Amino acid sequence: MLKPLLERMFRKQEQLTGESADFIREMYDAAPGGFWRFAMFMPMSRYRRALPKEARVAAGIAAVHSEDCGPCLQTGINLALADGVAPEIIRAAVAGDTAAMDERTRTAFEFAQAICARDIRSEELRPLIEKWWGKAATVELALTIASARTFPTVKRVLGHGQACLRVTIGHETVHAELAAPRAA
């Protein structure tokens, strides 16, 4: 009885993200308890209250790109487009084109890059984020960055990770290689 309901949920997830949910099906089949814990984690990945969606998306793309430039990046792009984020912002984040971002979006993007690279520069950027959007924004960024890194890891461990590929933003195909963030 539960399996048909879950299958409908998996198909809905695939429609929403534009990517396969086979890794989630595999989790459920192999370890239902692990699947349910992962399912409880998923809402955390979509939490947004304090940040403008453009800043959150740019930070999320920077974080997921530090772990993956394949299906998880495409999922983030598809979700951002569905949320109404301008393709130009998404394209700039995928390309690492900080000159095409406004100051606040660029700061969130660079903060996420610095966190993922364990770069001390994050300490310079955090006060700006808190000044503009409050401490709640750093909590939101923590959840965004942490969850963006989880999905590619889970997928790779289960054998569903892929190498870098071309992603699409709307109908435009772009290469997903991003310049490496500065090292600490």
Residue range 16-41: mean pLDDT, rounded: 90
108-122 pLDDT tens trace: 999 999 999 999 999
Residue range 159-175: mean pLDDT, rounded: 71
Q: Which residue has the higher pLDDT, 16 or 162?
A: 16
pTM of the model: 0.84
As a whole number of angstroms, the distance between CA 117 and CA 179 comes to 12
Provide the pLDDT for residue 102: 96
As a whole number of angstroms, the distance between CA 116 and CA 110 comes to 10
Q: Which backbone phi and psi does 173 adopt, to 5 degrees?
A: -95, 130
Provide the pLDDT for residue 161: 72
pLDDT band at residue 162 using 50, 70 and 90 as cut-offs: low
Q: Judge whether residue 71 has pLDDT over 50.
A: yes
As a whole number of angstroms, the distance between CA 83 and CA 53 comes to 8
Domain 50-175, architecture per CATH: Up-down Bundle (1.20)
Q: Judge whether residue 20 has pLDDT over 90.
A: no
Provide the pLDDT for residue 179: 42
Q: Which of 31-35, 46-50, 55-59, 71-75 has the lowest mean pLDDT?
A: 71-75
Provide the pLDDT for residue 184: 43
Residue range 88-99: mean pLDDT, rounded: 94
DSSP code for 182: P
Q: Which residue has the higher pLDDT, 127 or 24?
A: 127
Helices (H) and strands (E) in the chain, counts: 9, 2
Provide the pLDDT for residue 35: 93
